[in-house]
């Protein structure tokens, strides 16, 4: 599947933002009219992230900034901090979650609450959705009181959930049948990057919606990629998470092997962190894995779900993935031990159990 790849870093966005702030403002009568068909409101100012931090010294109004009303569906381990960053940046945010109490902290920060996805999309110009799995993503978008029943022409729906390409294409069709625009934008990153606004967005779908949503993606993330047609974003995310899951399983094997031959696993983590194979997750998760503590940043059940979907993707194009298949079996064993809600680094427990049986 051919994919056009455009990488836009948040650092370049900030540079443009600073330039736009310190240049003289063009009188309204000389400004070109917006050409985007997505929303009838003025175009979003790309300097919003920086401009928001200067609101106390630079008088302006939300209308001048072209701020739209934002909906956010799903207040889980990722959705909640993402929505919080939008609120803290000054966005007008309306939230929904199946368990209403999870919305309370957001409402306390200034968000509005609606009782269904339908009500959120009916009242918001642009709606983000962060759901746990394909079934939830489809149900929230297309099920009873789903987003499709409130959304309409001129609005946009951005699904940042991790789903398979087929599910994303199904949601896209249902949304676009209403006249609205659709963008898939699964994220690379876990709880801490979500809290810090350091996610990576892998987007595909309607390019005008990508352009319109870009300033909000930049509030929640450090970079974004536009990958072309719907399905490409989902495929890229599954490939990335397949690699990550396989890396973690191999790292777990290394920790246990180092211990068994009498080496200090903490030194192993340090050695790895200084070499060519270094990845941030090794130094971040290694010490807690050695202590058999797994604070949840990315639940193991979600990692196994992504491995399963990635293997299905590979099967659909007849690509052999034996390493990922073996790693997936370890995650399944870890789930059977009741570790679904622990961090995915708890996969090491599956290997400990295998060792004890030997």
Please tell me which residue in 237, 301, 305, 335 is annotated as part of the active site.
237
**Sign of the CA dihedral with 310 first, then 305, 222, and 72 last:** positive
Asked if 237 is an active-site residue, the reply is yes
In this structure, the chain runs to a length of 358
Which residues are within 8 A (CB) of 107 and not within 5 positions of it... i.e. 6 or more apart?
A: 95, 113
The rounded Cα 282 to chain-centroid distance in angstroms is 21
DSSP collapsed to 3 states, the chain: CCCCCEEEEHHHHHHHHHHHHHCCCCCHHHCCCCCCCCCCCCCCCCCHHHHHHCCCCCCCCHHHHCCCEEEEECCCCCHHHHHHHHHHCCCEEEEECCCHHHHHHHHHCCCEECCCHHHHHHHCCEEEECCCCHHHHHHHHHCCCCHHHCCCCCCEEEECCCCCHHHHHHHHHHHHCCCCEEEECCEECCHHHHHHCCEEEEEEECHHHHHHHHHHHHHHEEEEEECCCCCHHHHHHHHHHHHHHHHHHHHHHHHHHHHHCCCCHHHHHHHHHCCCCCCHHHHHHHHHHHCCCCCCCCEHHHHHHHHHHHHHHHHHCCCCCHHHHHHHHHHHHHHHCCCCCCEHHHHHHHHHHHHHHC
So which residues are the catalytic ones? 237
């Amino acid at each position: 599947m051919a994919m056009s790849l455009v990488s836009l870093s948040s650092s370049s966005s900030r540079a443009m933002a600073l330039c736009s702030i310190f240049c003289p403002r063009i009188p309204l009568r000389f400004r070109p009219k917006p050409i985007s068909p997505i929303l009838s409101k003025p175009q979003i100012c790309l300097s919003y992230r920086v401009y928001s931090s200067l609101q106390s010294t630079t008088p302006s109004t939300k209308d001048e900034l072209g701020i739209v009303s934002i909906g956010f569906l799903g207040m889980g381990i990722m959705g909640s901090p993402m929505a919080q960053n939008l609120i803290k940046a000054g966005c007008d945010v309306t939230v929904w979650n199946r368990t209403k109490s999870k919305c309370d902290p957001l409402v306390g920060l200034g968000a509005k609450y609606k009782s269904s996805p339908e009500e959120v999309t009916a009242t918001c110009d642009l709606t983000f959705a962060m759901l746990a799995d394909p079934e939830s993503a489809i149900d929230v978008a297309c099920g009873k009181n789903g987003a499709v029943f409130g959304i309409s022409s001129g609005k946009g729906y951005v699904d940042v959930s991790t789903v398979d390409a087929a599910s994303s294409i199904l949601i896209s069709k249902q949304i676009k049948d209403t006249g609205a625009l659709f963008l898939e934008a699964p994220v690379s990153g876990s709880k801490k990057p979500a809290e810090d606004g350091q996610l990576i967005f892998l987007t595909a779908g309607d390019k005008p919606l990508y352009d319109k949503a870009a300033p909000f993606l930049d509030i929640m993330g450090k970079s974004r990629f536009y990958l072309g047609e719907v399905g490409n974003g989902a495929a890229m995310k599954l490939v990335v998470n397949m690699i990550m899951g396989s890396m973690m399983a191999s790292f777990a094997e290394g920790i246990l092997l180092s211990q068994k031959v009498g080496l200090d696993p903490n030194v192993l983590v340090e050695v790895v962190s200084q070499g060519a194979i270094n990845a941030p997750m090794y130094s971040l998760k290694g010490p807690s894995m050695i202590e058999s503590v797994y604070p949840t940043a990315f639940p193991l059940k979600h990692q196994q779900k992504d491995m399963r979907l990635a293997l299905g993707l590979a099967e659909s194009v007849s690509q052999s993935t034996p390493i990922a298949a073996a790693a997936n079996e370890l995650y399944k064993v870890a789930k059977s031990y009741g570790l679904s809600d622990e961090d995915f680094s708890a996969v090491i427990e599956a290997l400990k159990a295998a060792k004890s049986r030997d």
